[in-house]
Chains A and B, each alone.
Chain A
């Protein structure tokens, strides 16, 4: 197979784009896709301070790498989830990457927050699936770190496969409120929110993995031990089967949703968040999802006979 751009021997084939690329041309193609997404959606500009959420996986480190190369003002944010060796290794990879690239990094450890909020502890105390508890806590600390640090934008490494799987889940249950907010750019709807953007939303996870490999980024290849059986992975597998039968399906699913259907859902989503009575962060009830989680954990921790926290 020959490179679509320069006719050299191709190292990667992208069936969704009906193209093949050699290493230099793939890196050019990938970077250009990210640049186009940023420009097309008006995600941010060169003067903005970007907080990049990094997990140690291929997507977030590839994203941080490409944004830094494009000259953006980036700071990494790593949230340590307290998931045993997996979190230890993830932390090491993120620190090594930041050190090698000379990029600033902030670290939040859930085990050190609110008396200990490691994902396994919280999942057990609240009887929620780990991914659900993890997502709620990560969103809270991403928002908090962005506001506390005075950043303009919170950038996450969600890729095309993540967005397609999420869309499939939202459509299968017709979750109108979720569909209303599934966009590559979420403007702040509350003073305690910053803009949230996903520059990789049209880039497949195969492409981010190839970029990370070609750039020599040492990322965590191992899957989170809690992810086994997660619904999102079931959707991803189904979508990959569709993609194999009809290349470009995932791209069309997400792009056409955003172009044709999402605006209609966005119109009916008019609920503005309140301030959480407990922490002041945005909440759609009296307290936010994070504080609700913490309150449950505190109640479980309270010794028998002691008054449960409010």
Chain B
């Protein structure tokens, strides 16, 4: 599967089906800090993603004010 990471503008290729929670853990992303999107639909941690999937992982953290 191809996983597009935003805002990092980076794409990683991964093989093998797995749950979204496992995908996030593998990428070192905490649940609740990013949306996982497939075909314009959000995926919860229990959803399974497959080799043929095109996934976007969009971080939600913003800020910077001192």
Contacts and interface: CB of A to CB of B under 8 A. Distances in A.
Nearest to A245: B30
Given A13-B45, A58-B60, A233-B63, A210 B33 contact: no
A236 interface: yes
A15 B32 contact: yes
Contact of A232 (B35, B59, B65): B65
Contact of B44 (A1, A208, A232): A1
Nearest to B43: A11
A221 B5 CA distance: 11
Contacts of B44: 1, 10-13, 20
Contacts of B59: 221
A131 B64 contact: yes
A209 B60 contact: yes
A243 to B, nearest CB: 6
A233 B64 contact: yes
A244 B31 contact: yes
B27 interface: no
Interface string B19-46: 0000000000011110101000111111
B2 interface: no
Contacts of A210: 35, 42
A135 B61 contact: no
Contacts of A131: 64-66
Nearest to B37: A213
A155 B56 CA distance: 31
A224 interface: yes
A204 B30 CA distance: 14
Interface SS of chain B? loop
B30 A232 contact: no
Contacts of B42: 11-12, 210, 213-214
Interface string A107-139: 000000000000000000000011110110000
Interface in A84-116: none
B31 A226 contact: no
A1 B46 contact: yes
Contact of A206 (B33, B46, B64): B33
Contacts of B45: 13
A209 B64 contact: no
Given A1-B44, A11-B42, A135 B31 contact: no
Contacts of B62: 57-59, 205, 223-224, 227
Contacts of B6: 221
A122 B31 CA distance: 37
A206 B7 contact: no
Most central of B7, B33, B35, B45 by chain A CB within 10 Å = B33
15 contacts: A1-B46, A13-B31, A13-B45, A59-B62, A129-B66, A132-B66, A204-B32, A205-B62, A206-B32, A209-B58, A213-B37, A223-B7, A224-B64, A236-B61, A240-B61
Given A11-B41, A58-B62, A240-B32, 10 more contacts: A16-B32, A135-B65, A135-B66, A205-B60, A209-B60, A213-B58, A224-B64, A227-B63, A230-B63, A244-B32
